[in-house]
A = this chain, B = another copy of it.
């Protein structure tokens, strides 16, 4: 890792993927002066639900699951964040404790940006505010769609959708295996179901030759079948 000299935000390519690109050079410099780079290992918490956040986290590498504990004691993964995503924005903007926990699924490299830099820019640079707004609008639309899927689709459809989501958002390697590898339990926490139910459906998919497995890695073989299932 190149922490002998940390990358400055101004030069960081990652920021092209998120709302920080709407900041001016000077704003970015100020932010860069206050930011710190942090490393998390698989399973570490970046923050946990209920925690007060003093800034936002910009993911440089690795993947984080954003989840919430429900009253029955089970974790529900609400979304997965990767390179370029900002975590904790919502909490900082509404000045409330975090609503979700962010846990590293992989080893991660994350920049912590104190909230002052964000809030000041938000108030002075409406370009930036609108850019953040656009991202939040997009997240909201996705969340609404998830609500509809969660309440109206069968577990089987939701598992299929989870695979498609993993493919579309995190891609696959040259051999067709999904870049993102989740444990069975994590998949069921995305889908919102019991682990065994989820496992059973995965093995059905294998029998149908819609997906295959090699070690922990999974690959989608028949994407169309999965899509058809979701839309039926």
Kindly identify which residue among B122, B141, B146, B193 contacts A126, using a CB–CB cutoff of 8 Å.
B122
Using known A-B contacts A122-B130, A123-B126, A140-B136, determine if residue A148 contacts B90 with beta carbons closer than 8 Å: no
The yes or no answer to A213 lying at the interface (CB within 8 A) is no
- Nearest Cβ distance between residue A127 and chain B, in whole angstroms? 7
Q: Which residue of B lies closest to A133 (CB)?
A: B133
The yes or no answer to A232 lying at the interface (CB within 8 A) is yes
Q: Which residue of B lies closest to A99 (CB)?
A: B141
Number of copies: 2
The yes or no answer to A5 lying at the interface (CB within 8 A) is no
Residue contact B140 to A133, C-beta cutoff 8 Å: no
Residue contact A100 to B144, C-beta cutoff 8 Å: yes
Q: Which residue of B lies closest to A190 (CB)?
A: B151
Cβ contacts A to B, 12 pairs, < 8 Å: A71-B152, A71-B232, A76-B148, A96-B141, A122-B130, A123-B130, A124-B126, A129-B129, A133-B136, A143-B144, A146-B147, A152-B192
